[in-house]
Amino acid sequence: MDLNDIREEINRVDYEIVKLLNKRLEMALRARKFKEQVVDLEREKQVIENVQKIPLKLVEKNFTTKLFENIIAQCRGVQMQDRILVAFKGEHGSHAEVAINDCDQKFVPIPCPHFIDVVEGVKKGYFDLGLLPVEHSPEGEEAEVNDLLIRHDIYVCGEVTQPPHYTLLTLHETDYRGIKVVYSHPQILAHCKGFITRNHLEARPYYSAAGAARMIAESQLRASAVIATTLCAALHNLAVIKENIEDDLHGLARYLLLSKEKSQEKGNKCSLIFSTSSDFTELYGILKIFTDAEIKLTRIESHPAQIETANMVFLVDFLGCAGEEKIQKVLEEVEKKAVMYKLLGCYKKR
């Protein structure tokens, strides 16, 4: 190992330190949900005592004390800010996180292992909002999301749309001409099939694009690349080889923001769930209510029902404000005809 190798390893360690500091701040924000006040001197004293017990040769106790006093002060600072915790499924660097970052500077993306963790976390008040993909998700799985929307008491308070751009990333030391293998989520590999084929790359599926980016960086895989977001390049110190490599440059992914309570904002779009009996004439009758009222439907999707009284549940989005008299009348008619009825929310696009 020469000086350059050592410096490269130092760079990797520095990246990990900063990412761990960010995670520490995230946990501090999450802890604020359970605290009556920001300052807890007894807990802060315990934190410093805990880290001083770690037997490390080069890290002196005085340095550790000063370091964690600064960290605690920073955690206090973010806990006092008007931040909004937004849960998403995946890990840092995902397209969902990019969508959250583009919404509002106050939003803080919090990764969760599963969609159910997002929903349950919002319902229990662990997070302020949740973000779930409902159409053209870069990593698929909309069917699972639809099932959660049907089964859980949760509300839609906003919509986010975003072009899911894909970027080829690799290690800085890798010569792009020597790349043989590319990793990413299977859905993303499918979206970039043309680029992969033209460049004679071997596509290797991974559980997520962000996870693949982290794996490439940690394992230092040479002659390999990942298709992910440009955010992943910044997070994992990867080189951007080529941006916008997707086959469809005009595609849009759609996400819904979820909240524990109904939004009080005056929206311009509504999401509705309903079911009918197996008689398709009843479905036609409900859709005709919207047509007769000249209300534009922007989405209608069927999903297998989890109830005894119906075989299918329908998820419908339409333009309009639920507070308008015309919309109210339509919703009343739909509710009368439907076997099961649930207005998810009226909201605005962010």
Q: Mean pLDDT of all residues in the chain?
A: 92
What are the phi and psi torsion angles at 302 (to 5°)? Answer: -95, 155
What CATH number should be reported for the domain whose range is 3-80?
1.20.59
DSSP state of 296: P
Which tokens belong to 130?
Answer: 């949740």
- CA–CA separation, 216 vs 227, rounded Å? 11
Average pLDDT over residues 31-48: 91
- CA–CA separation, 175 vs 222, rounded Å? 9
| Those residues with Cβ within 8 angstroms of residue 142's Cβ, 6 or more apart along the chain or in another chain | 133, 134, 135
How is the chain split into domains, by residue range? 3-80, 84-164, 167-242, 266-349
pLDDT at 5: 85
Q: Is the pLDDT of residue 306 over 70?
A: no
Q: Is the pLDDT of residue 319 over 80?
A: yes
Indicate the pLDDT class of residue 165, thresholds 50, 70 and 90.
very high
CA Rg, the chain, in Å?
24
pLDDT at 307: 62
- Write the Ramachandran bin of 129: left for phi over 0, alpha for psi from -120 to 50, otherwise beta: beta
Same CATH topology for 84-164 and 167-242?
Answer: yes
Q: Is the pLDDT of residue 267 over 80?
A: yes
Q: Is the pLDDT of residue 114 over 90?
A: yes
**Domain 167-242 is found in CATH 3.40.190.10:** yes
- CA–CA separation, 272 vs 345, rounded Å? 7
**Strand pairing partners for 240?**
169
Q: Is the pLDDT of residue 144 over 80?
A: yes
Q: Is the pLDDT of residue 311 over 80?
A: no
Average pLDDT over residues 252-258: 94
Instruction: Judge contact between 89 and 80, C-beta under 8 A.
Output: no
- CA–CA separation, 185 vs 206, rounded Å? 5
DSSP structure string for 133-175: EEES-TT--HHHHHHHHHHS--EEEEEEEE----EEEE-TTS-
Angle in degrees, 0-180, between the axes of helices 115-123 and 142-151, rounded to the nearest 10: 30
Which tokens belong to 14?
Answer: 């520095």
What CATH number should be reported for the domain whose range is 266-349?
3.30.70.260
* Angle 201-206-211 from CA coordinates, rounded to 5°: 115
What CATH number should be reported for the domain whose range is 84-164?
3.40.190.10
Classify residue 189 by burial, with Cβ atoms within 10 Å: 0-12, 13-18, 19+: buried
Indicate the pLDDT class of residue 71, thresholds 50, 70 and 90.
very high
pLDDT at 308: 65
Which tokens belong to 5?
Answer: 């190798």
